[in-house]
Amino acid sequence: MQRQSRHTKYFTLREALDLITAPCEYGASGHLLDPASADSEDEADFVEGIDPCQDNVDNVEEEGTEVSCSTEAAPTPEGSRGRGRSRMTCPPAKRGKRSRSLSGDAAAWMSEKDPDSLPHPLPNFCPKRKPGVQLPFSECVDRSSPSELFKIYFDRAAIKTLCVNTNKNAAKNVAAGKKFTWTDLTEAELYHYIGITLYMGVLKLPKMRDFWRVNSIFHVQHPSEVMTRDRFLTITWNIHMSDPAEDTLNDRKKGTTDYDCLHRLRPLYDSLRVACKVAYHPQQNLSVDERMVSTKARVALKQYIKSKPTKWGIKLFVLSDNRGYTVDFNIYTGRSTLVTGKGLSFDAVMALINKNYLGTGYHIYCDNFYTSPALFHRLHDLGFGACGTFRAVLPTPQ
């Protein structure tokens, strides 16, 4: 482990926000993917851990064994540039074996006939901020209540936005003739609603109305003391994260490049991502992987992956450190709209790596879906080490 720089310091909240919101080469859209452009073949590739634009090998079996490989700082020949075909131009794949062609440059897999070379020394670990919980949160973490810690991520600004948009949505539903009684939702009431929702996730009962039963030996105390059942259900029917008027404008753009498929999640989604980065700066060792968020909701974002323990859910690409903290995440919704020509596995990692926020000298770990010469060369150019597994059927120097 490299020694931390003596000049590392805590940043103020405003300085941290400036670092996080600074533009990077992949932008800050928060999502890589457009469900309208997804197709079944691309989805099958992703489920099987195959990226046609990176797995440039003739007759590669769909499923291969993993071999540990470390290419933390492989040198890039001067003047070379990684080339890769966009996913739109990849040849159609067939079940069983897939035909790939080697591109023959520094960003391609080498064979056992190619000479290997030693990596350059790893860059020193120079994070932008001192790793760990950041000020002012570090001063109060040990003595904070669970609700105070929760409000670090669901702060007053985010809650206020949810209240305003929920009230607008309720007014819209009332005007449309829906029958329910509504009074404007307040910030304190929304915190109560979220608290009951979390409580229901911990304490499992057969039916929702069981949480409000009073004449039963299985009486649950807290929900009925905080909010009536009718009010809870009414909020559930109307809760809304985005402005309903802006929803209408965004829906008209469907099928165009301006359409945002995450528009209805955007206010809370962006707020959570910023809060994750403001409150904590990651340790040196980071990992990029997929994560399934289980859900049975009828949404277009939902994925089904037969091989996963959580088969139905929303898939995330997640950047986390060796303490398990989620530093950043992106929602997977279909085929990549980033025109890099280097495939989903490359884009998914690079969209989570922001040198302006992180600093340099970090070590990025990943599995065989992401491991590629193009990615590792790019990370090295940015001052990051990289290590990942790869399929044994890929050609590599001996």
| pTM, 2 dp | 0.73
- Name, in order, each residue with C-beta under 8 angstroms of 11's C-beta and a sequence gap of 6 or more: 19, 128, 129, 134, 135
In the structure encoding, which two tokens stand for residue 81, read together?
């540039």
Within a domain: 2: no
Please tell me whether residues 64 and 24 are part of one structural domain. Answer: yes
Would residue 269 count as lying in a domain? no
Residues 288, 340, single domain; the answer is yes
**Structural domains counted in the chain:** 2
Q: Does 8 fall in a domain? A: no
Q: Give the pLDDT confidence score for residue 13 in this predicted structure.
A: 65
Burial bucket for residue 137 (CB in 10 Å: 0-12, 13-18, 19+):
middle
Task: Kindly report the number of other CB atoms within 10 A of residue 228's CB atom.
Answer: 11
CB-CB contact of 4 with 130 (8 Å):
yes
Do 216 and 165 share a structural domain? yes
Domain range for 291: 13-131+282-391
User: Where among 211, 231, 251 does a domain terminate?
Assistant: 251
Q: Rounded distance, CA 46 to CA 345, Å?
A: 9
- From first to last of the 398 residues of the chain, give the pLDDT tens digit: 444 444 555 666 667 667 666 666 555 444 444 444 444 455 556 656 666 666 654 444 444 444 444 444 444 444 444 433 333 444 444 444 444 433 445 567 777 777 767 667 778 899 999 999 887 777 777 778 888 889 999 999 999 999 999 999 999 999 999 999 999 999 999 999 999 999 999 998 888 989 998 887 778 888 999 999 999 999 999 999 999 999 999 999 998 989 999 999 999 999 999 999 999 999 999 999 999 998 888 888 888 877 778 888 999 999 999 999 999 999 998 765 556 778 888 999 999 999 999 999 999 999 988 998 899 999 999 999 999 998 877 766 55
